[in-house]
Amino acid sequence: MPSSGPARTAKRLAQNSPGSAAFDLQHYLKQRVQFVEQALDRAVICRDVPGARLLEAMRYSLTAGGKRLRPILAIASCEAVGGDPEDAVGLACALEMIHTYSLIHDDLPCMDDDDLRRGRPTNHKVYGEAMATLAGDALLTDAFKVLARTRSKRADAAVILEVVAELSDAAGSAGMVIGQALDIMSEGQPTDLDTLEYLHARKTGALFLASVRGGGRLGGADPAQLQALTEYGSALGLAFQVRDDLLDVEASTEQLGKRTHKDDAHGKATYPALIGVEKSRAFAHELVDRAIGALAAFDGRAEPLRRIASFVVERAL
Amino acid sequence: MPSSGPARTAKRLAQNSPGSAAFDLQHYLKQRVQFVEQALDRAVICRDVPGARLLEAMRYSLTAGGKRLRPILAIASCEAVGGDPEDAVGLACALEMIHTYSLIHDDLPCMDDDDLRRGRPTNHKVYGEAMATLAGDALLTDAFKVLARTRSKRADAAVILEVVAELSDAAGSAGMVIGQALDIMSEGQPTDLDTLEYLHARKTGALFLASVRGGGRLGGADPAQLQALTEYGSALGLAFQVRDDLLDVEASTEQLGKRTHKDDAHGKATYPALIGVEKSRAFAHELVDRAIGALAAFDGRAEPLRRIASFVVERAL
C-alpha cells in the first residue's frame, strides 16, 4: 500500500535531513521550497465566493516563485535545534506572506512604482491599485492566522504566542515598516554608514531575525541556542542586504526579473555607493563568517544554516 | 497617601461597574473610552528615532477620536462574563488599530479617495500617499503585537492564541478585506439584499463579532456564553451597518465629520436604496431586539452590552 501524503512528505524530508552523511544543499533547498510552496498553496485557496478576485490577486504574487529564503531559514533553524520542518511550517508560510505583501505595497505607484517583479507584471499592473493594496493587506493579516493556528510538538501555546509577538514586532513600526519609511524619506539625502545599517537592520534584517529566532523557538531552542541564532540571523540579514545592493549594480534586469540599477536612479544610499564594490564584497564575506561562527556550538543539524549563509553571499539572483 | 495610577484607574472603573445599581451608559462609555485612549497612547509612542514621521502618521489617525465602539464592545463583553477591563485592553487596542488602518487605506486616492475623516484632513492629505500606506500597514502589524503581549487573569496562552487567530480571520481575506474588495467590485453594479448582507457581514460585521467574542474569551466565557455573544455580535454588527447607511442619507458632512451622501455618489448599494428608509429603520430596530434577546441568560453585568445595542441604532453620529 502506498504511504499517505503527509507520511510520504516526512519520509522524503528525512532522506535529506541536515545531519545525514552526504548533505546536498541544492537538494535540501529544493525539497524545503517544495514543502513550503505546498503549504502556501493551502494557506490561500481560491474559493468560489463573491470577491474571489482578492484571493486570486493574493495567490498571483504568493505563487510567483522567489527564493523562499525566510521560510527556509525558519525551517532550517527549527531543524538545527532538533525540530521537524512541520513544527515551523506555519511560521514559514507567515513569513513568506508578509514578505510578499511588502513587495506588493513597495511596488505601488505611490511607493517605488515598479512594473516588473520576479519576471512578471507587478500586482497592481494586473489587478489595479485598489485590489493590490487590499491583496497586500489581506496577506499581512492572514499571516497571523496561519501562525496562530500553528501546532508544534516542541513548543506550547505560550511559545507560539511569543513567536507571534516577535514576528509583528519585526514586521511593524519597530522593524520592516519603519525601515521602509526611512528608505523613502532618505531618498536623495546624503546618508552615512551608521544610518544605512540602521535602515537595513529594520527594512530587511528584522524579518530575517524573526525567521531564525521563530524557527528556533518552534523547534524547542534553549536560551543559549536562541542567542546563537540571534547572532547568526543579525549577521546574515545584513550580508543579504549588502549582496542585494551589489546585485543591483552588477546584474541585468533579465537576470533578476525585476528592474535593476534602480537604487542609483532613486538616489538611494547603498553599500557600493558608500564604500565601493570591493569593500562591499569583503564586508559581505566577513558577515557570513560571523554568522557561521555564531553556530560553533551546534552539531551537524545546523549544516543547512551554515551552507545557506555562504549561499546568500554567493548568489547571483 | 494618594493611590497609584493603575489602582486609581481600577477604582474609577469599579465605581461605575456594569452590575452597580444606578447604571449610567454615558458615564460608562466616557470612562471606558478614556481607559482605551490612554492604552492607545501607550501602544504607539512617538520616539525620537530616524523614520519617526511614520509613528507620527500612525498617531495622527489613531488619536483622532471616534466612538471607539469596537474596543468598548470588547471590554463590555469581557465584563459581561465577569472579567475586568484590564483583561481585554490589549484586544481593545488591537481592534482600534485595525479599524484605524482600514480607514487610512480606505481613504487613499486609489480606494474611496476621501479628503476628510473625523473632521480632519485624511492621513494621506497630511503625510502623503506612501507614508499613509505605511502607517496603515504598521498599525495593522503592531495590532497583533499588542494583542499577543496581552495578559489576562482569566485566559491562558492557548485562549489568547485563539483570540489572535479569530481576529486575523475576521480582519483578513475571509472577513474585512474581502468585504472591502467586494464593495469596490460591486460599485455601480446591481446588488440584491443577500449580496448586501454578505458584504456587510464581512466588511464591518466580522470585526464586531471578533470584538465581542474576543472580549468574552479573555473574560473567561464558557461555551454557552460565547454562543450568546456570537448571536449578539452578529445582529449588532449588521444593525450598525444599516444605521450607517441611514446616516449617510440623513446627516450633513458637518455633523459626521466626513463626506456624506457618498454612497449614492459612488453608486454603492445600501439598505435605504434597496428597501427604503422606513423599512431600513425597522430592520435596524429588529436587529437590536435580536441582539438584546441573545443576552437573556446574562445578569446585570451585561447591562452595558444591552444599552450599547440600543445606542448603536439611535446614534446620530
Nearest Cα residue in chain B from A43:
B173
Alpha carbons B94 and A303: distance in angstroms, whole number: 40
Average model confidence (pLDDT) across chain A: 90
Partner-chain contact B164 A164, CB within 8 Å: yes
How many residues are recorded in chain A? 317
Residue pair A148/A164 in contact by the 8 Å Cβ criterion: yes
Nearest to A181 among B134, B177, B184 (CB): B134
Summarize the confidence of residues B186-215 as an average pLDDT: 92
Q: What one-character DSSP code corresponds to residue A108? A: S
Percent of chain B predicted with pLDDT > 90: 77
Q: Which residue has the cell 442619507?
A: B249
Alpha carbons A31 and A79: distance in angstroms, whole number: 14
Residues 6+ apart with CB under 8 A from B293: none
Superfamily of domain A5-12+23-314: Farnesyl Diphosphate Synthase (1.10.600.10)
Chain B residues close to A113, C-beta within 8 Å: none
Residue pair B80/B19 in contact by the 8 Å Cβ criterion: no
Question: Which among A9, A215, A204 is positioned nearest to A102, based on CA atoms?
Answer: A204
Summarize the confidence of residues B77-88 as an average pLDDT: 98
- Check whether A100 has a pLDDT greater than 70: yes
Q: What one-character DSSP code corresponds to residue B2? A: P
Residues 6+ apart with CB under 8 A from A316: A247, A251, A255
Alpha carbons A206 and B24: distance in angstroms, whole number: 47
Percent of chain B predicted with pLDDT > 70: 87
Q: Is A215 exposed, middle or buried (0-12, 13-18, 19+ CB in 10 A)?
A: buried
Paired with A120 in beta bridges are A117
Q: How does pLDDT run across A191-232, given as a tens digit for each residue? A: 889 989 999 999 999 999 999 999 999 999 999 999 999 999
Nearest to A157 among B143, B157, B185 (CB): B157
CATH topology of domain B24-314: Farnesyl Diphosphate Synthase (1.10.600)
- Check whether A165 has a pLDDT greater than 60: yes
Alpha carbons A64 and A44: distance in angstroms, whole number: 13
- Check whether A85 has a pLDDT greater than 60: yes
Q: Which residue has the cell 544605512?
A: A196
Alpha carbons A135 and A141: distance in angstroms, whole number: 10
Please state whether beta strands A120-121 and B120-121 pair in parallel, antiparallel, or not at all (unpaired): unpaired
Q: Is A62 exposed, middle or buried (0-12, 13-18, 19+ CB in 10 A)?
A: buried
User: pLDDT class for B260, splitting at 50, 70, 90?
Assistant: low
Partner-chain contact A129 B148, CB within 8 Å: no
Summarize the confidence of residues A96-124 as an average pLDDT: 96
Nearest to A131 among B139, B140, B181 (CB): B181
φ and ψ of A120, to 5 deg: -130, 160
Please check whether residue A311 touches B, CB under 8 A.
no
- Check whether A267 has a pLDDT greater than 90: no
Q: How does pLDDT run across A54-75, given as a tens digit for each residue? A: 999 999 999 998 899 999 999 9
- C-alpha grid cell for residue B281? 429603520
Alpha carbons B17 and B76: distance in angstroms, whole number: 10
Summarize the confidence of residues B19-34 as an average pLDDT: 86
Alpha carbons B260 and A83: distance in angstroms, whole number: 56
- Check whether A266 has a pLDDT greater than 50: yes
CA A240, A242, A247 angle in degrees (round to 5)?
Answer: 90
Q: How does pLDDT run across B119-158, given as a tens digit for each residue? A: 899 999 999 999 999 999 999 999 999 999 999 999 999 9
Cα–Cα separations (whole angstroms), residue A144 to A98, B96, B124, B309: 9, 17, 26, 30
Domain ranges in chain A are 5-12+23-314
Please check whether residue A197 touches B, CB under 8 A.
no
Q: How does pLDDT run across B90-127, given as a tens digit for each residue? A: 999 999 999 999 999 999 999 999 999 988 999 999 99
- C-alpha grid cell for residue A184? 523613502
Chain B residues close to A171, C-beta within 8 Å: 141
Chain A residues close to B149, C-beta within 8 Å: 165
Average model confidence (pLDDT) across chain B: 90
- C-alpha grid cell for residue B49? 528615532
Alpha carbons B171 and A145: distance in angstroms, whole number: 10
- Among B99, B111, B177, pick the best mutation site for testing chain A contact (most A Cβ within 10 A): B177
Paired with B117 in beta bridges are B120
User: pLDDT class for A115, splitting at 50, 70, 90?
Assistant: very high
DSSP codes, B16-48: T-TTSSS--HHHHHHHHHHHHHHHHHHHS---S
Chain B residues close to A49, C-beta within 8 Å: 178
Chain A residues close to B145, C-beta within 8 Å: 164-165, 168-169, 172
Q: Is B236 exposed, middle or buried (0-12, 13-18, 19+ CB in 10 A)?
A: buried
Alpha carbons B135 and B42: distance in angstroms, whole number: 17
The pLDDT value recorded for residue A268 is 76
Give me the half-sphere count of Cα atoms (radius 13 Å) on the Cβ side of residue A287: 25
Q: What is the CA radius of gyration of chain B?
A: 19
Chain B residues close to A128, C-beta within 8 Å: 110
Please check whether residue B48 touches A, CB under 8 A.
no
Partner-chain contact A141 B179, CB within 8 Å: no
- Among A110, A151, A184, pick the best mutation site for testing chain B contact (most B Cβ within 10 A): A110
- Its pTM stands at 0.92
The pLDDT value recorded for residue B315 is 76
**SS3 category, A248:** helix
Judged by CB atoms within 8 Å, which residues 160-189 of A form the interface with B? 160-162, 164-165, 167-169, 171-173, 177-182, 184-185
Question: Which among A60, A184, A206 is positioned nearest to A134, based on CA atoms?
Answer: A60
- Check whether B61 has a pLDDT greater than 50: yes
Chain A residues close to B162, C-beta within 8 Å: 148
